[in-house]
Structure 1
Amino acid sequence: MEYMTKRASTDFDAIVIGAGHNGLVTAAYLAKNGYSTLLIEARNDVGGTAASETFAGSVVNICNCDHLTFRTTPVAEELNLASFGLNYLNIEPPQINGDWTTGKMWPLWHDVDKTLDSLAQVHPDSVDGYRQFAATAIPVAKLILDAAAQPPSRGSLISAVVKRGGKGVASMLKMSRMSAADVMRQFFDNEAIIGPAMVEGPVVWGISPETPGTGLGAIAFALRHVANLGRPEGGSGQLPESLKKAFLSYGGLLRTNTRVMGIVCEGQRVSAVQTSDGATVTARIVVSACDPRKTFVQWLKNPPARANSLVERWRNEPVSEGYESKIDAVATTAPILSGLVDKELAGNAVGSTTIISPSLAELHRGSQLMSEGRTMPRMALLANSPSISDKTISPHGTHVFSLEALYTPYSFTDGWESREEPERWLRQFGTLVQPDFLDSISQWRVMTPANYE
């Protein structure tokens, strides 16, 4: 932060717009380094999609509760988030994979050899391919995580490359030019293995796994071997809550229920932020941790000429259709996967996230169906019961159940007012677990792209 010069002539040294986890991290670092910082949030509290809230007497997460890449960064340690209540519970196995075609489930463990042993019980023809995949993709995952854990700069990736003696560079460059599906086809001809990796990769970005340039999205399995997947005790929202407490303790000022109406430019630089209450707040620097299209097209006032190409690029960027929906439910029993035959896990309710994938052809077609306002017959699903590992989020005798569905377009042709389509996803998942699970659900809600918007 040394390059920033504090100026007494402005209301704040810095203004950060948006109190999702990215905005919170930025604001907390600024405040910790002695800069007077204002954090503006349109909602009544912080967190965005990383937040948690109360539903039917339990704690549910706005988005998925699994945290992985954040835990590989030094943020929690540098901001001392443990002292502000952040405690992670490690999830093992981090993931269970399944597919609609075979109905078979196999756990992906943090340990590669343990994963190979489990895979041998279900898909023995894919063990050698997985071993080769791990040998290739793990160095790439380590390289990317090392670079991401450093302050963003042109030299961060170079530094990571030097640190690892160049290991993984050639594979990373090759993968980056391929589609994620083609990367996986180098190692597997079994779509029961490829499909779940694609759901955790390009599909959760809202695009087809056959899209060129998505190849690094194929390292999802490898990431779980490199880093420990975990969940904040008390719900995903404990991360933004701890960041908020850290920010405030460092002297930051938080303003919620405040909408930004404009970002004012003077000459070659940003000078102020205009808010919905009619205020104009000046600052040396403004950081927008919000939708870039809204930032550059709707908010930026009188931008300098050198910003015109950037503004036009975002003006011409199509408005996203949205692609994900999430069901939160409270039940008296947790789901037990019928197709999970692993000797260690079979017959038990497991808190790990379970990925259920249709075929690659269906996933590719599904991305096209979104533009038509339609969903796939067999959905891509991510399911978990976080209350199995975290007893603090639901009362005794109840469980929280989460079901994410992909792809789900904002402009769904049948409209999101009816619960018929989300009920279809629940019924689909119900075919994979014990018969009485769906009947044990007492209350449920759905967050669609319209809700997230």
Structure 2
Amino acid sequence: MTADVTAAGVRLPVPDSLPPRADVVVIGGGHNGLACAAYLARAGRSVVVLEARGQAGGCASTVDAIGARVNICNCDHTMIRASGIVEELDLAAHGLRYLDVDPMLIGVGWADEPVFIQWRSIERTVDGLARVDPAAADAYRRYLDVALPAAKLVLAVQGGRPTTPSIVATVVARQRLRGANVLLDWPRRSLVDVLTSFGLPSWVVAATHTVGPAVWGLGPDAPGTGLGALGLAIRHLVGVGRPVGGSGAVPAALERYVRAHGGRVVTGARVTGLDANGGRVHGVRLADGRRVTAHTIVNATDPRTLLVDWLAGEHAAARLRRRWAAAPAEDGYESKLDAVVTALPTPRAVAALPEDVLPEALRHVPTTIVSPTPDQQIAASAGLKRGLIAERPMFFLNLPSVLDQTMSPGPGAHVLSQEILWTPWALAGGWGGRALPWGWLEQYASICENGPELLASVRDWRAMTPPDYEREFYLTRGYVPSFPDGVMSALLGRRRELSRYKTPVAGLYLTGGATFPGAGVWGASGRNTARTILGRH
């Protein structure tokens, strides 16, 4: 039995005790691991989730820092709202409630580029483009005519357990293959190639890249990034929402669901190895020497550590282990600054907009993205490989407490969150001091009409860089794993350990952002893995 305690105004569960055995052990208490555990517990399996940190939730967490509640990563959620998980598990009954974000994003540049505002409404988005550039509005309509059927197809595919027959059946039944040509064509092309083929202007291309392939660490000219062009269409279909209380409300609701169905979530339990022999898993070993016996293990952390380090000597996985060991380890490349401020920053380009284009009351609701030009993004991609940060980085800026009063740090104050893309773990010259992170806030202030007031209003702040994510979240080299392939890879069953969740070792499965359908607060990977396990047993 668990109890709740109050910490910083938030109800936190007391960690469960560690059982000696379970039907299923899930390694990693991020939202995918918890989603997998939730479905398995609902099916009657005895499940224990082992989380190395003192709090479950992983990078989807909301934590106490700088006298406020701050999200570890961006607070905007899209794909989880299309996954069906919230409804299937009735997470509303476990405390999850979403607030709609509309407009969904505001895109500005570093110079005099027009402002791109994407609303949930297609017509309102197109009307805004037409006020600036009628040709851009026409190009956006041409893009959506092609992209919307493909976006619906992607949403249908991610919702099915990815055996080839089930995906194909889903596609045929729901979409009658409309948009399939896009899934065959766009993954072979670059984002720039796809979007410019419709005549979309560079400032729309740049914004689409920032919220798409740039988050994957790829430049807009990289082959395979063309599928990222579907992001604009998907947001029109699904919308953007923020959980009340921060992004961490999702893993918190999942954790409560797991416990309500007899599962256990044990924090401070760092797994350091597997018990496996004869081509089958038998349990896990913890850093403190304890063991848990189980015949089904689900890894929801970096698969590289498990496959390369923990399966050494296991003959059944020898070929898979060699393939992973031969591939270079990935480096993290994202940082985040959080500050408590009393001034709301407004970019000059946004402040100049007429009230009927963007009402003043909505200017601080969505995330504002700051994008260099596509050519500058391409140059920054080359610099990233050399450990360099661009002079004009890509930023995500939001003020979660404007929309969600539960995130307020106090009267007259707000939380400002700034994500900075392409800040390499292996930074040339090394990481040190606070001057560089503070400089990112100064850079944003330089394009705001009240920049000096913003900087003077900062009460407290902190920065999380790739080395910080490595140290605090056990992310090797600060890297958050992400599924490396597209929808077609899942359709064709390539890299089966990632697209089908199964390994050659009986009872050993993978889930998480490194597996299909990918990273972000989504949860479909966790659900799909649970379905795969239940389908085999």
Moved more, 99-108 or 200-209: 99-108
Deviation at 1:410, TM superposition (A): 0.4
Correspondent of 1:345 among 354, 358, 361: 358
In 1, Cα distance between equivalents of 2:396 and 2:132: 20
Q: Which sits farther off after the overlay, 340-349 or 263-272?
A: 340-349
Would the aligned equivalents of 2:116 and 2:204 in 1 still touch at CA under 8 Å?
A: no
Contact 1:97–1:107 (CA under 8 A) maintained in structure 2: yes
Structure 1 residue 301 displacement after superposition: 4.4
Which amino acid is 1:33 matched to? A
Structure 1 residue 448 corresponds to structure 2 residue 465: yes
Distance 1:387-1:156 versus aligned 2 partners, 3 A rule: farther
Are 2:342 and 1:332 equivalent residues in the alignment?
Answer: yes
TM-score, normalization by structure 1: 0.94
For the residues of structure 2 that align with 1:84 and 1:337, how far apart are their CA atoms?
A: 38
CA distance in 1, matches of 2:199, 2:414: 36
With over 3 angstroms needed to count, the CA separation of the structure-2 counterparts of 1:127 and 1:237, relative to structure 1, is: same
Identity percentage over the alignment? 39
Superposition deviation, residue 25 in structure 1: 0.4
Gaps (5+ residues) in structure 1? Answer: 1-9
Contact kept in structure 2, 1:269 and 1:304, CA below 8 Å: no
Kindly provide the CA deviation profile for residues 147-173 of structure 1, in whole angstroms up to 9, marking residues without a partner as x: 112233323431332111111111221
Please say which of residues 234-243 and 93-102 is displaced more in the overlay. 93-102
Which deviates the most, 337-346 or 291-300?
337-346
Q: CA separation in 2, counterparts of 1:255 and 1:128?
A: 54
> CA separation of 1:423/1:238 partners in 2, compared to 1, >3 Å: closer, same or farther?
same
Query: How many residues were matched structurally?
Result: 443
Q: Deviations over 1:57-93 (max 9, x none)?
A: 2211000000000110111112121111000001001
1:54-453 map, 5 Å: 54-162=64-172, 163-188=174-199, 190-305=201-316, 307-340=317-350, 341-342=353-354, 343-345=356-358, 347-348=360-361, 349-394=363-408, 395-435=410-450, 436-453=453-470
Q: CA deviation at 1:189?
A: 5.1
Gaps in structure 2 of 5+ consecutive residues:
1-19, 471-537
8 A Cα contact 2:105 2:366, kept in partner: yes
Moved more, 225-234 or 366-375: 366-375
For 2:422 and 2:401, how far apart are their aligned partners in 1? 26
Q: Secondary structure at the match of 1:12?
A: coil
Paired with 2:308 and 2:97, the residues of 1 have a C-alpha distance of 39
Residue 52 (str. 1) matches residue 66 (str. 2): no
Structure 1 Cα separation of the partners of residues 274 and 348 of structure 2:
54
Q: Distance in 2 between matches of 1:122 and 1:310?
A: 53
CA distance in 1: counterparts of 2:359 and 2:447, whole angstroms: 13
Q: Is the 8 A contact 1:265 1:301 kept in 2?
A: no
Q: How much has 1:336 moved relative to structure 2?
A: 2.0
Q: Does the 8 Å contact 1:265/1:304 carry over to 2?
A: no
Offset from partner CA, 1:22-68 (integer Å, 9 cap, x none): 10100111111100111111100101110001223221100000000
Per-residue deviation, residues 321-354 of structure 1 (Å, max 9, x unmatched) = 2111111111112222321215242545421011
Contact 2:399–2:414 at 8 Å: present in 1 too? Answer: yes
Contact 1:181/1:215, CA 8 A, preserved across alignment: yes
Task: Kindly provide the amino acid, as one letter, of the partner of residue 433 in structure 1.
Answer: C
Partner of 1:4: none
Q: What SS does the aligned partner of 1:222 have? A: helix
Contact 1:264-1:273 within 8 A present in 2 as well: yes
The one-letter amino acid of 2:320's match is L
Q: Report the AA paired with residue 368 of structure 2.
A: T
Counterpart Cα distance in 1 of 2:170 and 2:189: 22
Residue 18 of structure 1 corresponds to 28
Conservation of the 8 A alpha-carbon contact between 1:337 and 1:347: no
